[in-house]
Amino acid sequence: MKAKPDAAAPSAPPVPSEEPLDSVGQVIPERLRGDFARRQEFTTAMTQLSAIKSQVMRAIEAGDRLYADMSGGSGFQAAIENARRELRFAAPHALCPYCRAKGCKACHGRGYVGEGVWKAAPADMKGARA
């Protein structure tokens, strides 16, 4: 009589990778790790823009006459949000789906792309990570 496999045995949890991963879970090659490590620079700049936006909008809402020419601040708010969006989509996001981190025109020869390029890439180029 054969022993039945223990169906109730819990599976082992996945072992976390020791190597750094990009935003979609791919292992970052050694030569690109310095650039990915600098992603915080983009986050910091976006945080600073948010702080500036808040400070200026508080002054406008308080009726500070120094900000009277800002006509409600809608143009200012849009400019800040556009700057934040540019920073967000410029930050290293994922290995280039077109060249597989070798360097091509899409990634400006860097081997990685920002979030906007990654999202725009065809799903079949991104493989299972899409």
Q: What is the pLDDT of residues 14-24, one digit of tens each?
A: 656 589 999 99
Q: How far is CA 37 from the centre of its chain?
A: 12
Going by C-beta distance under 8 Å and a sequence separation of 6 or more, which residues neighbour residue 76? Answer: 53, 56, 57, 70
Mean per-residue pLDDT, 101-125: 95
Statement: residue 129 has pLDDT above 50: no
Report if pTM > 0.85.
Answer: no
Helices (H), the chain: 33-37, 39-61, 74-90, 115-120, 123-126
Domain boundaries, the chain: 31-92, 93-130
Q: What is the rounded distance in angstroms from the CA atom of residue 45 to the CA atom of residue 48?
A: 5
Q: According to the model, what pLDDT value does residue 71 have? A: 79
The kind and range of the H/E element at 94 are strand 94-95
Give the pLDDT band of residue 1 (cuts 50, 70, 90).
low
What pairs with residue 44 in β-bridges?
A: none
Statement: residue 75 has pLDDT above 80: yes
Q: According to the model, what pLDDT value does residue 3 have? A: 53
Mean per-residue pLDDT, 90-112: 96
Q: What are phi and psi of 11, to 5 degrees?
A: -80, 150
